Amino acid sequence: MEAKGNLLSTIKEIDSTAKIQFMEAFTKVRENFIHTFRILFTQDDDCDLILSDMENPLEASIEIIAKPKGKRPLTISQLSGGEKTLTATALLFSLYLLKPAPFCIFDEVDAPLDDTNIAKFNNIIQKFSQESQFIIVTHNKQTMASVDVIYGVTMLEQGVSRVVPVDFRILEN
């Protein structure tokens, strides 16, 4: 009975610690999401992360609210492809800001974006590249033009690929 009591006490303590740490992280991610979303959209746009059950956050679902100016979608699925991409990017960067990684890889994230939103995406990549290295797979010329180094893959003959690096930092000097 004593061992059972100790075990239940330990479980309660771990649960309490996990709940506190989760809520601290969630609060920071939520603040980061709102800030990053407004960088990618405008300061007038509305967004939020909402826990479905504040009393039991470890078991709760998280609802993502994204309402660009002039739109009032009921669900995220009602956003355009570009708006979904920018919202997902805002969420990724809000998590990144919690614990920055030394490098990040994006695979054609910019594909559904129009020229205006490509510029916003590239600006935020430039901002965060001060602290992390970004590897971006893209076919977008605007994104390619905004990087420091580009690696092209070409096929001179059937079945033989070749990597062609271009370091724009050298060309600037």
Its pTM stands at 0.82
- At residue 173, the pLDDT reads 59
Closest CA to 37 of 94, 99, 105, 97: 94
Is residue 170 predicted with pLDDT exceeding 70? Answer: yes
β 103-107/133-137 pair status? parallel
What letters, b where the CB count within 10 A reaches 16 and e where it falls short, cover 53-92? eeeebeeeeeebbbbbeeeeeeeeeebeebbebbbebbbe
If we measure between CA atoms, which residue out of 112, 100, 91 comes closest to residue 48?
91
- The H or E element containing residue 149 is strand 149-157
pLDDT tens digits for 75-92?
A: 788 888 889 999 999 999
Q: Return the pLDDT at 172.
A: 65
Q: Does 52 have pLDDT greater than 90?
A: yes
- Residue 74 near residue 84, CB atoms below 8 Å: no
